[in-house]
Amino acid sequence: MNSRERLLKTIEGKSPDRLPVTTHHVMPYFLDKYLEGISYHEFFEKFDLDPINWVISFKPSNANEYYDPQQKELDFLEQSRIISDQWRIKVEKSHKSNFDVYKYYFITPKGTLEMKIKANDVSSMVTEYLIKEKRDIDLLGEFMTMPICNIEKVNNIANEFGDEGIIRGHIPTFDVFGQPGCWQDAACLVGIEDLIMATYEDPKWVHELLTILQKRKLNYVYSMENAKFDIIELGGGHASTTIISPNIFKEFVAPYDSKIISAAHEVNQKIVYHICGGMMPILENISSMNPDAVETFTPPEMGGDVDLAEAKKRIGDKVCMIGGFNQNKYLNNCSPEETRQEVRKCFNEAGRNGGYILAPSDHFFDAKIELLKAFSDEARKCKY
């Protein structure tokens, strides 16, 4: 089987010729630091992994919207900003303490919202949240643009990629910083602590915000019919039980993201639901949302709580499982033989009946080359 066939069969919950092995996003930091800046296509080829091509594909939804002229080139996984005369974005860039600092102004006819982000080669984070007063969300609901899928771009890339691997996208995040899931996107706009408190103090307002964000995401999803994506990412780490309770997940996460998954299926798109962190108390809740695949199955040593064998027993017959590999230890701080043993352990616990893709639990920034080779080589020996 080629990589595309292998990955697609596994996403369907079946057994391919061997264990599929890949990784979440290939980080530019790693490529630059360890591999002289090779492309992510070259990375997959070098380590003989099953390739994934990440495609972000937005375009304006009507004649009143247009691409932001300030956005000259797109950074890694950055989406094209869509603006209008009633939703303009002004950016001020500075540098402080080894970070680039970006101050964003979202200018509308009824007021301006402000947000600040700092970033370096490894990561970026919000240092000033957009929503400072509860009625700030009215500006989002009235003026925020509604990007749709650039199907032509997706399909051109998919046709060129061919059988090399699969095409993966994600549900739109907020314009300059966010996550695909509704709750997770809201956390990036409000701040997770304030958002959690609001679920107790003003749950009606939280539902209102989530509905606004969901509407924008659904608008994109319904535009995806005939786009040659193989799987689309939804979710994010703020919905893990490392951060919120199962009750908050049931009331404020699942109802909104379930509707997005259902809409994706209506237009023949598959969804992988991404949660990095605690998952065990909500495994069945995630599965009942009906995604096609679930990730990242983060082990306790990395701040999660996943018992891979138990997770397989509970939901492995309902969804494809992706992840579960402790990259912090087994791609950095052990012998090649220990890496191989961990690959076998993951395969024995989650892979025996198919429906499992071996991958690190989320992306990585540092790794030893010989351990990456051992990771890939041993996985390719895991046969069905």
**Residues 308-327: pLDDT tens digits?**
999 999 999 999 999 999 99
For residue 141, name the pLDDT band (cuts at 50, 70, 90): very high
Is 117 contained in some domain?
A: no
pLDDT value of position 325: 97
Q: Which residues of 223-240 are buried (b: 16+ CB within 10 A; e: fewer)?
A: bbeebebbbbbbbbbbbb
What percentage of the chain reaches a pLDDT higher than 90? 93
Query: Which structural domain range is residue 337 located in?
Result: 3-81+133-380
Is 271 contained in some domain?
A: yes
Q: With a cut of 90, say whether residue 288 has pLDDT above it.
A: yes
Please, what is the average pLDDT of the chain? 96
Is 106 contained in some domain?
A: no
Report DSSP letters for 83-101, one per residue: EETTBEEEEEEEEETTEEE
At 53-79, the pLDDT tens digits run: 999 889 999 999 999 998 887 776 778
User: What CATH number is attached to the domain comprising 296?
Assistant: 3.20.20.210
Is 155 contained in some domain?
A: yes
Span 193-200, mean pLDDT?
98
Give the count of domains, the chain.
1
181, 211, 207: which is closest to 195 by C-alpha?
207
Break the chain down into helix, strand, coil percent, rounded to 5.
Answer: 40, 20, 35
Is 96 contained in some domain?
A: no
Is 358 contained in some domain?
A: yes
pLDDT value of position 365: 93
Is 302 contained in some domain?
A: yes
Is 95 contained in some domain?
A: no
380 vs 301: CA distance, rounded Å: 25
At 231-260, the pLDDT tens digits run: 999 999 899 999 999 999 999 999 999 999
What percentage of the chain reaches a pLDDT higher than 70? 99
For residue 269, name the pLDDT band (cuts at 50, 70, 90): very high
Span 339-345, mean pLDDT?
98
